Structure 1
Amino acid sequence: MALSFNDGNSLFEFVVQDGNGVKGLVDSGLAKVPDRYIQPPQERIEKLNASSHEQPPIDLSLLDGPNHDQVVVAIVKAAQILGFFQVVNHGVPVELLESVKDAAHRFFAQRPEKKAIYLKGVSPSPFVKYGTSFVPEKEKALEWKDYLSMVYTNDVDALEYWPNQCKNEALEYLKTSTKMVRRLLEILVGNLGVKLEDSRVESLIGQKMVNMNFYPPCPNPELTVGVGRHSDMGTLTVLLQDGIGGLYVKVEESSDVGEKEGWVEIPPIPGALVINVGDTLQILSNGRYRSAEHRVRTTSMQSRVSIPIFTIPQRTEKIGPLPEVVERDGVAHYREFMFEDYMNNFFGQAHDGKKSLDFAYIGSA
């Protein structure tokens, strides 16, 4: 008997438990989106109603010249207003970025059983996970996305356990991006009037994770989302987009970016990387920097990949507003907590905008 993709249990077993993913649905000749993927109207992304973010990318090579201060101002302003900005001349070779995208396509092009060896519970390493959607067990509507997540512990483990189809490219991408992340964090914290020890900077980005996201073509992209509304939990995220696009960031009413409240698309720029502020940096800055709410649309035309690097604090790191900032502000807007508790809360819920930050607000349990 043919699998009925509108049978919720059969679909969940096929997509999630057996590891076929969304790509498996598409490869089966799917003609319409199954009910489990249809988002409520308020969560759908209307491409025609969104504007494009017009700010030019920030040239990081200018930090080493006479325009240093102007570049710092641009970085700080972007982190305060939108929480997203693009950078070029970032120190990661463009040829490497292209090879990383190719490697992602190579991994997801494999037969389902080849990818399923990395499913949670059977993966040869707890630091490598293949899956689909975000928290499918708790989502009312699933996200149209498959992913591979690789947590970095050390080079030896990465080369032994990360998938052969992408491990070399992913590891090089991670290592060449780290210097840039550290420099951006030092600039943003320095603007707060705080000088952190190198050990503290390292602990705030001590956990590093490379994700490869795969968005197959969708027969009804207007009904689905690739990723639902959320902010990232970590300190800074580095994102490599391909040329198709689909990343949308929410512009708050209080923003001063010359655009009305709503969603703007972050357009792909060849050779650029997208940087976004995570919840951790919003908390450290006592709210001066913004972890932007963002989401991803699907496309009907061709498969899309994106490859984020998440830099997040060590699990045992205590996170709260920096004391120097609280002293100047006169009040702390967030409580102090162990970062592992924040992680557990973040991964224990479906995407729901910036609700993850409720965990940290003063007065929260």
Structure 2
Amino acid sequence: MENIGSGEEKGSDWGKSLPVPSVQELLRNDPQSLPERYIQLHRDRPVVPHMAVAPSSYDIPIIDFALLAKGDEDETRKLDLACKHWGFFQIINHGVAEEVLLKMKAAIAAFFELPPDEKNKYAQDGNDFQGYGQAYVASEEQKLDWCDMVFLVTLPHEIRNLKYWADTIPGFKDAIESYSIEAQKVAEELCANISLLMGMDKDGLKRFYGNTKQAMRMNYYPPCSRPDLVLGIKPHSDPDIVTLLLQDDDVPGLQIRHKDEWILVKPIRNAIVVNVGDVLEILSNGMYKSIEHRAITNKAKARLSLATIMIPYDELEIGPMECAVDDDRPRMYGNMKYLDYVRYTLGRKMEGKAHLDNTLKIKGS
């Protein structure tokens, strides 16, 4: 993404996703529509749980971010265990004002309420991964996600491509501006605490990866007449350092794979879901795990979510840090330039963690 700028002629080096029809617009014409290309193979179809029967013993960890930032030992221990054994956790008391969260969610909703012709003004273009469309569409034959999305690079300011920003929506840019800054503060504080847990000072990770970039994926999952046959997003892990997810407070849909079961992540009002990315797994030499996750749909309501990702610059060589390798934990991953890793990941359909296993994972480790 080094060559992303504010000019309309610039795009990313991450590759492209093939254009496909908007699921939202398919349903506008026929609410019962379910094209064959969206029907998952039997082995991939979800079991759609009801919230009332989701076992409470499977609730993912909840961390009080305000206490964590103050160095509270209990919260620090919970962060360590969450990153090791779950790869996911929710944070409360994170300091992002409710007004900022609500405006961000309203901006996403407003985009997907635009008429089709208006949304298409911000469609993915050529080789650019940014814009309105779908992701991870690598062939005309693969099964598709029951989801429309907008992907934007948001920080730093100088690499934004405003061509894809919906400037016709009042407050859209301001909402992103406010939330992106707050989300970056949260991500940096989390990484500072993870640095301490890895045996470094608070700036250990930051010294390694330097300045980071931030991007946002805004997701719209329409209701589906047969949610047992489709997936909002297929199982995958994230090719980043950490991801911050704003869930829909009222409509659950995120599932994570934990102990070979798919666990529904129950929304907590104004909480932020955090997950470990592939880059952090690699840097920590497997001490912390990126976890497969997916999105399911429902019959009654559309669901919105926002994934904010923290990513290194393209030229960074990623591989295990020295502090994470010793006789008890031998090197589990090789080295690769981040741009090459993310190109490989985005150039294929989602297949769990196959992209990590096929590139950097040392066989037998």
TM range (shorter): 0.7 to 0.9
- The alpha carbon displacement at 1:312 in A equals 1.1
Query: Quick one: which amino acid aligns to residue 361 of structure 1?
Result: K
Cα deviation 1:282-337 (Å, max 9, x = unaligned)? 11111110101000001111111000101111100111011121135352000011
- The alpha carbon displacement at 1:157 in A equals 6.3
Residue 291 of structure 1: aligned partner: 290
**RMSD, matched Cα:** 2.4
TM-score (norm 1): 0.85
Going from structure 1 to structure 2, the CA distance change for 1:315 and 1:331 (only over 3 Å counts) comes to same
Which runs of structure 2 are paired with 1:175-186 in the superposition (5 Å)?
175-186=181-192
SS at 2:103 equivalent: helix
- The alpha carbon displacement at 1:127 in A equals 7.2
Residue 362 of structure 2: aligned partner: 362
Residue 224 of structure 1: aligned partner: 230
Going from structure 1 to structure 2, the CA distance change for 1:69 and 1:163 (only over 3 Å counts) comes to same
Structure 1, 31-40 or 354-363: larger mean CA deviation: 354-363
Cα deviation 1:120-161 (Å, max 9, x = unaligned)? 2269xx574111253153662110000000112443665944
Structure 1, 152-161 or 50-59: larger mean CA deviation: 152-161
Distance in 2 between the 1:201 and 1:274 partners? 25
1:62 aligns to 2:63 (yes or no)? no
Structure 1: gaps of 5 or more residues: 1-15, 253-260
- The alpha carbon displacement at 1:171 in A equals 2.2
Going from structure 1 to structure 2, the CA distance change for 1:307 and 1:335 (only over 3 Å counts) comes to same
Correspondent of 2:258 among 239, 242, 251? 251
Query: Quick one: which amino acid aligns to residue 243 of structure 2?
Result: T
TM-score (norm 2): 0.85
Going from structure 1 to structure 2, the CA distance change for 1:329 and 1:313 (only over 3 Å counts) comes to farther
Going from structure 1 to structure 2, the CA distance change for 1:267 and 1:192 (only over 3 Å counts) comes to same
Residue 149 of structure 1: aligned partner: 151
Residue 325 of structure 1: aligned partner: 324
- The alpha carbon displacement at 1:219 in A equals 1.4
Residue 33 of structure 1: aligned partner: 34
Distance in 1 between the 2:197 and 2:155 partners? 30
Cα deviation 1:24-67 (Å, max 9, x = unaligned)? 001002324110100011111102396464245211111355x7
Distance in 2 between the 1:64 and 1:214 partners? 32
SS at 1:329 equivalent: coil
Cα deviation 1:77-114 (Å, max 9, x = unaligned)? 00100100000111211121111111111001111121
Going from structure 1 to structure 2, the CA distance change for 1:118 and 1:329 (only over 3 Å counts) comes to farther
Distance in 2 between the 1:64 and 1:37 partners? 43
Distance in 2 between the 1:357 and 1:159 partners? 29
Distance in 2 between the 1:199 and 1:304 partners? 34
SS at 1:212 equivalent: strand
Q: How many residues align?
A: 337
Going from structure 1 to structure 2, the CA distance change for 1:142 and 1:118 (only over 3 Å counts) comes to same
- The alpha carbon displacement at 1:68 in A equals 0.6
Correspondent of 2:221 among 198, 215, 226? 215
Going from structure 1 to structure 2, the CA distance change for 1:215 and 1:272 (only over 3 Å counts) comes to same
1:188 aligns to 2:194 (yes or no)? yes
1:342 aligns to 2:341 (yes or no)? yes
Query: Quick one: which amino acid aligns to residue 166 of structure 2?
Result: P
Residue 88 of structure 1: aligned partner: 92
Residue 310 of structure 1: aligned partner: 309
1:74 aligns to 2:84 (yes or no)? no
2:156 touches 2:213 (CA, 8 Å); kept in 1? no
1:163 aligns to 2:162 (yes or no)? no
Residue 15 of structure 2: aligned partner: none
SS at 2:228 equivalent: helix
Which runs of structure 2 are paired with 1:255-266 in the superposition (5 Å)?
261-266=260-265
Structure 1, 196-205 or 83-92: larger mean CA deviation: 196-205
Query: Quick one: which amino acid aligns to residue 163 of structure 1?
Result: A
- Runs of 4+ with >3 A deviation: 48-53, 153-161, 195-205
Identity %: 31
Distance in 2 between the 1:241 and 1:218 partners? 19
Query: Quick one: which amino acid aligns to residue 106 of structure 2?
Result: D
Going from structure 1 to structure 2, the CA distance change for 1:131 and 1:76 (only over 3 Å counts) comes to same
1:234 touches 1:278 (CA, 8 Å); kept in 2? yes
Distance in 1 between the 2:141 and 2:184 partners? 33
